[in-house]
Amino acid sequence: MLFDKKLASFAAGLRTEYNIPMEVRLWNGQTYRLGEEPRVTLHVPKAAALGYLVNPDLLKLGEAYVEGHIHVDGRLQDAFEAGTRLARGTATTRRFFDIKRIAGHSKVRDKKAIEYHYDVSNEFYQLFLDSNMVYSCAYFRDAGDSLDTAQEQKLDHILNKLMVKPGDRFLDIGCGWGAMIVRAAKKYGARAVGVTLSERQFEYGRELIAREGLQDRCEIRLQDYRDIPGTACYDKISSVGMFEHVGLKNLQLYFSRINELLAPGGLAMNHGLTSVDPESSSVGLGVGEFIDRYVFPDGELPHVSLALRQIEAAGLEPVDVESLRRHYARTCTLWGERLENAKERAIELAGERRYRIWAIYLIGCAHAFAHNWINIYQILCAKKSEGTDSPLPMTRDYMYRS
């Protein structure tokens, strides 16, 4: 009885001060509303699971959901938003940014991290990605653009910024399932090479190139960026969703290698996630810890100012910077909805635990981008030269050609 009174008093306090749109239903049937109009119900099947609700952050709540210690009735988007309010409401002194963690980034460790995230199964990713299997921020010219349209627009947006033309030697670092290199070769006439550390992506990309009949102009390799051979051997280089895995300490090495690979007059595009904290700390409330533990081991996000500093230090000139934060919020929302709609098949392919990780991760990312917890920038770079000549036009108009 005393326990019930304390819990009721705690719930009433949260309802009065924070109006969290959630109700909590215990194993004994007791229900406590944390807001006037709950949109989601949190089921606590055992008394031991109550510990996850004591001074919770999003790591504890995420862990409880992923491991099956709590269950959710309602839309995951509503559950995440309610969980965020709960985490803020029960720990007002918690920092919004975590002190950055510096991870080791050996070739072996980086390969294992990539395999953990990407080598689930290609069919699993096909459940929520577009038809070209592009696992990065789409580009919406119109709010009603389909995911397929927006992803093709993103590929073209990057290739247009890079001014890719027939005969260009094009490199895509962290090429995913091969959509960028196929697009560069098929539509723009480039001789394209892509590298990935994921064996599943490599196999899929090789089959895609063969299906498209592009073996003479397109190649995918299972290769670390540090092992790409040659110097000054590519006219254009793209890197999409890759430098998040490089590590803060290795940023200058990474951009220096791009500079070495780039031919005189060449252009490079880095499209990557960034911290919104000038100190390059990770998102707080337990978000950074959840992602590191369950989704992207060893991932580290630099602030855009640090990325620009290291680009300059590596000998490249940043010539254009564009935030696509709102585009990624929309992308992740669509991914999350598609995966949730394919829940049964996703569980068949990857198991319920893996489904829960990806489902809450995608919904959480949509929330994070929408609320400016993290950002994403396209940084176009030119290889520095002593002369005044530049490969770029005087205005940005060329980037928006159809």
Query: pLDDT by residue (tens digit) across 127-137?
Result: 999 999 999 99
Say if residue 112's pLDDT is above 70: no
Is 98 domain-assigned?
Answer: no
Q: Report how far residue 268's alpha carbon sits from residue 271's, in angstroms, rounded to the nearest whole number.
A: 10
Identify the H or E element spanning 283.
Answer: strand 282-283
CATH number at residue 62: 3.30.1050
String of DSSP letters for 38-86 = --EEEEE-SGGGGGGGSS--HHHHHHHHHTTSSEEES-HHHHHHHHHHH
Q: Which segment of 112-126, 203-217, 260-274, 373-387 scores lowest on mean pLDDT?
A: 112-126
Please state, in angstroms and rounded to a whole number, the distance separating the CA atoms of residues 109 and 95.
29
Looking at the structure, do residues 345 and 384 belong to the same domain, yes or no? yes
- Identity of residue 280: S
In this predicted structure, the answer to whether residue 117 has a pLDDT above a threshold of 90 is: no
List the CATH number of the domain containing 359: 3.40.50.150
- On whether both 79 and 136 belong to a single domain, the answer is no
Residue 84 lies in a domain: yes
Identify whether 102 is part of a domain: no
- Is 97 inside any structural domain? no
Residue 2: per-residue pLDDT: 42
Flag whether 101 is in a domain: no
3-state helix vs strand vs coil in the chain, percent to 5: 45, 20, 35
In this structure, are 74 and 166 located in the same domain?
no
The residue out of 90, 123, 155 marking a domain boundary is 90
Using the 3D structure, point to which of 90, 116, 148 is the last residue of a domain: 90
Q: Establish if 390 belongs to a structural domain.
A: yes
Q: What is the mean pLDDT of residues 250-278?
A: 96
Mean pLDDT calculated for residue range 201-212: 97
What is the per-residue pLDDT across 307-351, written as a single tens digit (0 to 9) for each?
999 999 999 999 999 999 999 999 999 999 999 999 999 999 999
Give the chain's domain count. Answer: 2
- Do 273 and 375 lie in one domain? The reply is yes
Helix (H) or strand (E) holding 248: none
Torsion sign over Cα 364, 99, 354, 179: positive
H/E segment holding residue 125: helix 122-126
Distance from C-alpha of 366 to C-alpha of 385, rounded to nearest angstrom: 40
Angle in degrees, CA 163, 259, 159, rounded to 5: 20
> Which residue has better confidence, 382 or 1?
382
Same domain membership, residue 201 and residue 66: no
Q: Residue 18: give the domain boundaries.
A: 2-90
With bands split at pLDDT 50, 70 and 90, how would you rate the model's confidence at 12? confident
Q: If pLDDT is split at 50, 70 and 90, which confidence band does 110 have?
A: low
Ranked by mean pLDDT, the top range of 20-34, 62-76, 145-159 is 145-159
- The confidence score (pLDDT) of residue 174 equals 96
The predicted-structure confidence for 95-105, as pLDDT tens digits, reads as follows 555 555 555 55
Q: Which residue has the tokens 């002194």?
A: 93
Around Cβ 393, how many Cβ atoms within 10 Å? 10
Active site residues: 365
Whether 4 has a pLDDT exceeding 70, the answer reads no
d(CA 381, CA 318): 4
Both 184 and 311 in one domain: the answer is: yes
Q: Is the pLDDT of residue 141 over 80?
A: yes
- The angle that helices 76-90 and 58-66 make with each other, rounded to 10 degrees, is 140
Tens digits of per-residue pLDDT, 33-55?
998 889 999 999 998 998 888 88
